[in-house]
Amino acid sequence: MRRALTWLGFVFGGLVALVMVAAGAVYGLSSLRMTKTYATQPATVAVPTDAEAIARGQHLAVAVGKCTDCHGQVLAGGIVIDDPAIGRIVASNLTKGKGGIGGQRSDADFVRAIRHGLKPDGTSVIFMPAQEFYHFSDADLGALIVYIKSVPPVDNELPAITVGPMMRALFLAGQVDLLPAELIDHAAPHPAAPEPGVTVAYGEYLAQTGGCLGCHGPGLSGGPVPGTPPSFPPARNITPAGRLGQWSEADFIRAMRTGIIPGGESIDEFMPWKSIGQLTDNELKAMWMYLQSVPPRPYGNR
Ligand code: HEC
Ligand code: HEC
């Protein structure tokens, strides 16, 4: 009996040790990637100062890039996720107030953060989808920067970011895009952006910079959104093979403006329709043209 217990003790002790080694490996490997620095010298982007550019920047921040969904309506930042397994993800206070980074960042720093996902020390920002913002044109990036610089200072001191064990494990398994800088080709010439207009190309630009592909998948066919708990609704198939195949342009615009789809069902608020609904009519029309142009795919094929 005693011998059996001793053996059980050994087995249990061995298992605990194994779990600790595995946890240590996950922690060590993820930290190694989180502290990697990139010596990227981003191209200079002209930052205008006129009121029109500031208004354009605000529209881009609210409706297109949805910066305000994480950084708050007045860009004072906040805690996006606080969960022991996932971690504490904190969107920076972008203003010049206390606890804000606005007073400490040059235009070049803003370009590095938004287009390359890099902080001034050369490490990747955590969690912010810069791989999507990478597609913003020089003109739009300049407008975003002048808008950030123009917002009134707000004092909001925030806690530091921590990345929990589950997030680290999902990240190492390739399930979550935790470090946007890893997903960007920093040396490639920046792609030219299409002119604004009611065109498929501009619709694609709005979808790319607007993060539709991040949740609905690169092929827009939907499925569970990587890194979200099982209680979150999966993204829908928004290729013509999904329900959108039966919708009209007016149905799509109404769905984005009101959160109600044809038939009367409402769209879950995890889908940022309240921000997308603030796109202009022409922007929504361009996006609809683009969504109709993508190849139909079966659901969940990402
Ligand atoms: C999904 C949430 C999310 C969205 C959307 C988002 N951000 Fe962020 N942002 C973050 C988080 C989290 C950080 C802090 C990253 C860190 O410190 O590692 C951050 C940091 C920043 C920083 C500071 C980086 C530095 O130099 O320290 C800037 C600038 C910024 N975001 C701009 C933007 C702009 C502009 C947009 C919209 C085009 C945007 N963000 C959209 C989550 C988000
Ligand atoms: C944060 C993740 C997320 C982002 C970003 C996102 N979506 Fe969604 N979307 C969802 C989820 C989840 C659903 C399903 C909601 C539900 O079941 O109620 C959805 C539903 C939809 C629907 C309804 C489809 C149907 O059959 O009912 C449309 C249309 C849509 N999204 C379009 C877009 C477009 C266009 C963009 C980019 C501008 C976008 N989404 C960005 C998560 C997202």
Pull the structure tokens for residue 290. Answer: 């683009």
Ligand 2 geometric centre to CA of 153 (Å):
33
Give pLDDT, residue 1: 63
Q: What is d(CA 138, CA 144) in angstroms, rounded to the nearest whole number?
A: 10
Average pLDDT for the chain: 94
244 Cβ below 6 A of ligand 1: no
Top pLDDT among 262 and 229 is at 262
Query: Which whole-number Å values give the CA distances from 28 to 15, 22, 33, 46, in the listed order?
Result: 20, 10, 9, 40
- pLDDT recorded at residue 221: 98
Ligand 2 pocket check for 236: Cβ under 6 Å: yes
**Phi, psi (5° rounding) for residue 121?**
-80, 5
Q: Per-residue pLDDT for 12 more than 90?
A: no
Ligand 1 center from residue 92 Cα (angstroms): 6
Cβ 89 under 6 angstroms from ligand 1: yes
Q: Which ligand is nearest to the CA of 161?
A: 1
Q: Which two tokens stand for residue 49?
A: 């100062």
pLDDT in tens, 174-223: 988 999 999 999 999 999 999 999 999 999 999 999 999 999 999 999 99
